[in-house]
A and B are shown apart, each in its own frame.
Chain A
Amino acid sequence: MKKPIIGLYILVYSFTSLAQEGTSFYHLGSATIQSTAFNASYFPKGDFFVGLPVLSGISLYANNRFSYNDVVIKKGDINEINLNKLVSSMGAANSFSFHGTISLAHIGFRAPSGLGVSLFANERLAANFVYPKEIAEFLFKGNGDMVGQKIDIGKFGASINYYREYGLGLAYEFDGRLKVGARLKYLQGFVNLSTPHNFNATLKTSNENYQFEADWQNFQLRTAGISQFSDEAINEEDLASYFISNGNSGFAIDLGLEYKLNRYYALALAINDIGYIGWKEHIQTSGLSDSTFVYAGVELQGGDIIDSISLVSDKFKVDTTYEQYTSFLPANIIGSIVYTPVNGTDVITTLNAKIIQGQINPGFGLGIRQTVSSNVIVSASVTKLPQQFFNVGLGFAAKLGPVQLYMATDKILGYSAPSIKWAQVRLGMNLVFGGAESDSKSGKSGTSTQGSYGNGKGVKTYSFHGQKIEAKKYEDIYTIVPKLSQEIPESYVNVKESNKRFSKKQTFINSKSAKSNKVGQKFKQSPSSVGNKNEKAKKARFGNLATQWLSHENYTKQKKGKTSKPKKQKLKK
């Protein structure tokens, strides 16, 4: 039994060295217009959305391998940064990340055709440093215990990107099962500091005589937008102009889709930030020429130590160039399986991978999303973020009239300055118009990943109880139809017998759970329905059944060919 548990732990741990932050927010599904940043197809319900500058979205994330307490020892009046503790607190792969996003503007609307359109601008900062423990060991503990070991310095990488993105987002749903979305982004770069993704270097101290063997390719540190801040070059007017528009531009695209397998399961997949920025202004690249060298010390017969060192130091002569270069955004991939055991409750398993400096860093999250009311959605997630132990995150989105507030964090426990290693939060406020009325009518806000289903998408007719009915509107998981007669056609009463899933649902809907889910609220009960208990129960069963049948829009659509022609069986009395 232990082996599978250990194996599972290793699997999860190995998948989380640099995961995507914001899983709790992502698990809110398409609750907000900002959800499209995670999956471009997650266009929320509503007709028109406005995100005010700054207020509509701030996202912050910081993650470090070690905390203050991990490395500092108090010795009397001295707080000592203990290098032994520092090194031992590291894992094989380490990183420091700071990501920030501030929304400048966000407008969205749903076109009559059902196409969700959004325009947005964000200020984004992404700083990532990745470094293997062996580099720290080499620097602080020396190479004496690493003799014979090849140190892969190429695993070190730095990437700081400060840029603005202007984007157009499009989302559309096909036939109730497939939602797709794309966001096209024009990028305006301001500051970059990065090592090339193809940087590669190794260093080895040989077993035999401790000679140094090193080689490197693309050993460079590239900067853009930094030189203008030097005292000599600084010019406020130029700076202002630079931060409005400059020649450092690029493009990126986000792609997303969600596909419903059946009533219970849906798959979601998104690929975000596939793009680049071509840096052309205020650029400088400092680096070493590609080289391989072996240093075995001085020639013992008449060799000169100075000459010997000079030969080596020549290899480390830093060249500076001013050629334009391209940096890639840290792209990420998010895939989820959404399981909906009960209406309004989704269980989401998420795997994601972030590509930083050419290295793929997968992550993992498991969450539950609950629709509390038509205006409130909450999510709770367990995530394993890079370098950290499992943590619990929470998120919510709530509407107060046209004002939508949201906030999510992957970390709700362990906020203590000396021991904190990481934090993440995303919060904001949107104005949402339209869609709310129908939400309240439906009694459900449709907060599952299916939640943005077909508002204003058009009207279809269905066969119900053997007769043609016309849907008035689609709202979330519901199909809203005109008031129906409570008469049960004989041809339909035996549906329970002919369809096991219906049978199950029938039993379920008749339970308290069904009531608590307010299933059937859209159908006003006729006074005649308030009769004896059996009759009431019977009718309630039918009402719930009918409502459920209608409310599971996909199921309806998937099964309409069959269920529109129910078998003629007698209703058992």
Chain B
Amino acid sequence: MIKPSYLYIVVVLMISSCNVDQLDMEGLKLSENTGLYAFPIGETTYQLMELLEDADSTLAMSTDENGMISFSFEESDTIELAQESTEQGIDLDVFLRQSVDFPTSSFSIPLFETFESGSFLLENPNLNFTINNELRMPLAIGLTIYGTKIDANGDTLRRDLTIYNSFFDLNDSLRSILHPSLTDTAAILTFLTLDKTTSDFDQFLGWTPENIYMNMSMVANPDLAEGDTLLFIFPPDTIPDREFNAGAQIFTNMSLELPMSLHLDNLGVPVNLDSITVDVDVTTLDSLQLRVVTYNMLPFGALLNLQFLDSNSEILYSLEEDFHVLANPTLNSITFNIKEPEININQVWLTGEGIDALNDTQTIKIIMTLNTTDGAPTIYTPLLEEYTLEVKISGKVRLSYEL
């Protein structure tokens, strides 16, 4: 039997646990919400060959039997000596030391335009000349090679290729070429090579000239002293050793060979992303994270920096520190193959100043700083066609907004 006292307790409990408070629905609204949202931006797999082709379409690309990539450039010219000499007011029938200038040839290397700073050193670049000469008199060539590029201020810089004396076999920086004798009607080939043993060609290319110019001149009768004229008196037993065969031509072929065995030392490669529009109300952005995942099968590592540029290319914001986007994989020391990709996951947070800068950002500039796998300057790494790079970019934003 339930005692009345228990009922009293229950009733008191019931009453004390209840009240007549009303729901206050006036001015009811949702609070500002803060959420952290992660999302993928994009991904891709780069083939090194494709990357290089995109970077430079003027240079031909090929691979050798080991899969190593080479750039090459080739240019030929034919010089009608009679015409050329006449135009330059030179009479080749007079046997004295005189010079005929060949047309200047030039070519550009757009690949080098993408490099901003640092060192790019090729192991074995070379410039080959093949000269097929029909002129029946001693000849030599004079050679001047220089490169130009435009600096950050828009000024054109020039650098000359230093050709070592070992390349020349005559005085006055002349290199003799073969010529046919008076009894020989066939043209005679001469092969010349400029490499890093005969010039500072590797350093020259490491300067990353965007355009390379070659001034070649032909010097007839280089065996004669300056000012001397050779006159042939025709005693019966005298046979002349040279003549100007007026229809003679000189065929020149210049080929540039750039095998991509290289050493990169903090090579800066900027990429401008001016097609990206930040269509977000940045006032809702509390912070922004950029996350880069790479599966690196390239023989170098990379650091990345971000710059936000306005419409005048002024830097509005720059990351304080580079962040690591490519980790150097381990290479087979003989074949330079990469067995497994080196996975690198890194992220950087933008806060405050960086997010404010997004308001006026016209261009996002990514600067990659590349270094070959082995840091020692004397070690060169070949670029193999099989090299790939898989990149996945994602972001995370903390937003505060009203629903």
Residue numbers of A with Cβ under 8 A of B are: 68, 72-74, 77-84, 140-145, 147, 205, 208-212, 295-301, 303, 308, 370, 372, 378, 392, 394, 412-419, 516
Contact with A along B362-403 (1 / 0, CB 8 A): 000000000000000000000000000001111111110001
B172 in the interface, Cβ–Cβ < 8 Å?
no
Is the pair A299, B42 in contact by a Cβ cutoff of 8 Å?
Answer: yes
B269 in the interface, Cβ–Cβ < 8 Å?
no
B225 in the interface, Cβ–Cβ < 8 Å?
no
Instruction: For B37, list chain A residues within 8 Å (CB).
Output: 142-144
A308 to B185, CA, bound (A): 68
Is the pair B392, A84 in contact by a Cβ cutoff of 8 Å?
Answer: no
A414 to B16, CA, bound (A): 8
Instruction: For B30, list chain A residues within 8 Å (CB).
Output: 80-81, 83
**Which of A77, A142, A205 is the one whose CB lies under 8 Å from B26?**
A77
Q: How far is the CB of B154 from chain A (nearest CB, A)?
A: 30
Contact with A along B10-27 (1 / 0, CB 8 A): 100110011111111111
Closest to B16 in A: A413
Residue numbers of B with Cβ under 8 A of A are: 1-2, 10, 13-14, 17-31, 33-44, 46, 291, 293, 345, 391-399, 403
Is the pair A209, B27 in contact by a Cβ cutoff of 8 Å?
Answer: no
Is the pair B394, A210 in contact by a Cβ cutoff of 8 Å?
Answer: yes
Is the pair B42, A83 in contact by a Cβ cutoff of 8 Å?
Answer: no
Instruction: For A141, list chain B residues within 8 Å (CB).
Output: 34-36
For the complex of A and B, 8 pairs with smallest distance between CB atoms:
A144-B36, A142-B35, A297-B40, A209-B392, A297-B42, A300-B44, A413-B17, A210-B394
Instruction: For B18, list chain A residues within 8 Å (CB).
Output: 413-416
Q: How far is the CB of B192 from chain A (nearest CB, A)?
A: 42
A68 to B27, CA, bound (A): 14
Q: How far is the CB of A344 from chain B (nearest CB, A)?
A: 8
**Which of A83, A303, A413 is the one whose CB lies under 8 Å from B31?**
A83
Q: How far is the CB of B306 from chain A (nearest CB, A)?
A: 16
A299 to B29, CA, bound (A): 41
Q: How far is the CB of A282 from chain B (nearest CB, A)?
A: 33
**Which of A73, A77, A297, A303 is the one whose CB lies under 8 Å from B394?**
A297
A334 to B245, CA, bound (A): 120
**Which of A298, A370, A412, A414 is the one whose CB lies under 8 Å from B1?**
A370
Is the pair A210, B396 in contact by a Cβ cutoff of 8 Å?
Answer: yes
Is the pair A300, B391 in contact by a Cβ cutoff of 8 Å?
Answer: yes
Is the pair A144, B23 in contact by a Cβ cutoff of 8 Å?
Answer: no
Instruction: For A372, list chain B residues within 8 Å (CB).
Output: 1-2
Is the pair B23, A81 in contact by a Cβ cutoff of 8 Å?
Answer: no
**Which of A299, A414, A415, A419 is the one whose CB lies under 8 Å from B43?**
A299
If A78-B29, A81-B29 touch, whether A418 touches B394 (CB-CB below 8 Å) is no
Is the pair B41, A298 in contact by a Cβ cutoff of 8 Å?
Answer: yes
Q: How far is the CB of B7 from chain A (nearest CB, A)?
A: 10
Q: How far is the CB of B326 from chain A (nearest CB, A)?
A: 15
Is the pair A416, B21 in contact by a Cβ cutoff of 8 Å?
Answer: yes
Is the pair A79, B29 in contact by a Cβ cutoff of 8 Å?
Answer: yes
If A81-B30, A208-B392 touch, whether A296 touches B36 (CB-CB below 8 Å) is no
Is the pair B41, A417 in contact by a Cβ cutoff of 8 Å?
Answer: no
Question: Which of A84, A144, A378 has the most CB atoms of chain B within a 10 A radius of its CB?
Answer: A144
Is the pair B392, A418 in contact by a Cβ cutoff of 8 Å?
Answer: no
Instruction: For B25, list chain A residues within 8 Å (CB).
Output: 79
Q: How far is the CB of B265 from chain A (nearest CB, A)?
A: 27
Is the pair A301, B44 in contact by a Cβ cutoff of 8 Å?
Answer: yes
Question: Which of B19, B37, B42, B293 has the most CB atoms of chain A within a 10 A radius of its CB?
Answer: B42
**Which of B10, B21, B33, B46 is the one whose CB lies under 8 Å from A417?**
B21
If A303-B42, A372-B2 touch, whether A417 touches B23 (CB-CB below 8 Å) is yes
Is the pair B393, A370 in contact by a Cβ cutoff of 8 Å?
Answer: no
A74 to B22, CA, bound (A): 14
Is the pair A80, B42 in contact by a Cβ cutoff of 8 Å?
Answer: no
Is the pair B28, A81 in contact by a Cβ cutoff of 8 Å?
Answer: yes
Sample of 9 A–B contacts (CB below 8 Å): A83-B31, A145-B36, A210-B394, A297-B392, A297-B393, A298-B42, A392-B10, A412-B13, A413-B18
A418 to B24, CA, bound (A): 8
Instruction: For A145, list chain B residues within 8 Å (CB).
Output: 36
Is the pair A296, B26 in contact by a Cβ cutoff of 8 Å?
Answer: no
Instruction: For A418, list chain B residues within 8 Å (CB).
Output: 21-24
A106 to B128, CA, bound (A): 109
Is the pair A297, B35 in contact by a Cβ cutoff of 8 Å?
Answer: no
A412 to B13, CA, bound (A): 9
Instruction: For A392, list chain B residues within 8 Å (CB).
Output: 10, 13
**Which of A82, A83, A412 is the one whose CB lies under 8 Å from B10?**
A412
Instruction: For B34, list chain A residues within 8 Å (CB).
Output: 84, 141
A73 to B29, CA, bound (A): 10
Closest to A71 in B: B31
A209 to B23, CA, bound (A): 46
Closest to B33 in A: A83
**Which of A81, A211, A308, A414 is the one whose CB lies under 8 Å from B17?**
A414
Instruction: For B398, list chain A residues within 8 Å (CB).
Output: 144
Q: How far is the CB of B290 from chain A (nearest CB, A)?
A: 11
Closest to A67 in B: B23
